[in-house]
A and B are shown apart, each in its own frame.
Chain A
Amino acid sequence: MPEALSADWQYVLANACYLGEGLVVTIELTVASLLVGFAAGLPAGVVEVYAPRSERAPVRWLGAAVRNAGIVLRGTPIVVIITLAFFAFGISPAFVAATVALGFRSAAYQTQIFRGAIQSVGVGQMEAARSVGLSQLQSIRHVVLPQALRRSVPGFQNEVTIVLKDTSIAFAIGLAELLTKSYDLFQSVGHTTAIFELILFVSAVYFVLTVTANQSLEALADAVSVPGSEGQ
């Protein structure tokens, strides 16, 4: 341990492995929540765009249900959602409760990302696909979504950042993620003075994670961009 470091910094470094366990949980929770959000948000985005114009009443009802569920989820604080999931609905273990809460909240936001991206694809694309004889679902799958997904990357970058940082809310149900672990450390007897160092350290870790995630998505967007068309 370098002599120049203060006792508090030495305490942080000595517990790097302990914090590392929290980091693993943070990353796992981020990935799991984003996957739940994507799996529910992409179809919900499609439903929000196309269901209201359907000729079939049950499809229109589904559209209304999806829209209203989204409004409720987006209008509820994440702390409320996560404590409801864990304490009121009794979902356990805490990791699953946190994944459900963050995942569904993310689904509500991702729905809007995909809805906007789908609506930005010109109606002429759908018309051309239908005029060749593709069904509406085939047209969505093979023509609209490939273009919409490319356009949803900037919004998705935002969402990744939000979910990653909001995993710290799992602190409220005692899940041993990064923030909870640092809390445990500065609550230990004799180490309460390390609070500043611990919070600064943990913040730096979140920062590095968000920057890395954003740059990875940037690289992905470049890799799948359509030649000749700027910014898509």
Chain B
Amino acid sequence: MQNKDEKSQARDESSVSRRDLLKIAGGLAATIGLTQFISINSLASPLAAGGGDSGGVKWGMLIDINKCIGCNYCTYACQAVNNLADDMLYNVVSTETTQNGTEYFLSRPCMQCAEAPCVHVCPVEATYYREDGIITMDYNRCIGCRYCQVACPYDARVFNWREPIAKSELAPTFGVQEVPNRDRGVVEKCHFCSHRIDDGLLRKLTPGIDQQATPACVVACPTGARVFGDLNDPESPISKAREEAQVTLRLREELSTEPRVYYIPPDTAYKPPFEQGD
């Protein structure tokens, strides 16, 4: 008898009342509504102006590997201008080899990708596309989670593990500090010297032609291996150089990050850069 009671009680407990059903349905509807709201308003919208080729000015860089002598002046100028410690390089020059074993220097700034993994992964939109395609950061918003570092296929990002240095040893030989220091605990990156571009444009200068409006690494290069300019302007130095170059390549194109830094690959018939003559 008691057993039967227990059973019927168990059945009562296991059945869902109408009120609960309504609650559950309400919960589900709210969840679906919220998901829809998020996906329509945010996920489905284009990420931001600057991603992809939305027309207008898009700054890019061309690096002629044949002209690079591995002097590291680009790195030094970058360190001086951005006040970077020696273990926090935005720009890195390394010695690499082609398939047939020829050594060459590969110098790597931030690729300023049109489909940048770092912008996609940043949880607080501290990293964002500017209208002109440059990827820059809001250092007051960055929480220092380092997901961008993990996501960047070019190792272009550096984290402030320590307090910023007082003054780079490379200043003033290679330039003076032009941007404020970043706090300990935020990630930072190459920004194509966007402060120079912005100031220059206000003064009616042309980035890529006028030195004051051109990234420090481009200006510092003694062999003119780096060319800077607007990729969408056919008259810009970079567009002309790209047209002139037979072949250009971008790093890790298979990842579809669409970098805005192009390279002229090393000649198979290798000529040392100083013997080329003009």
Q: Do A and B bind each other?
A: no
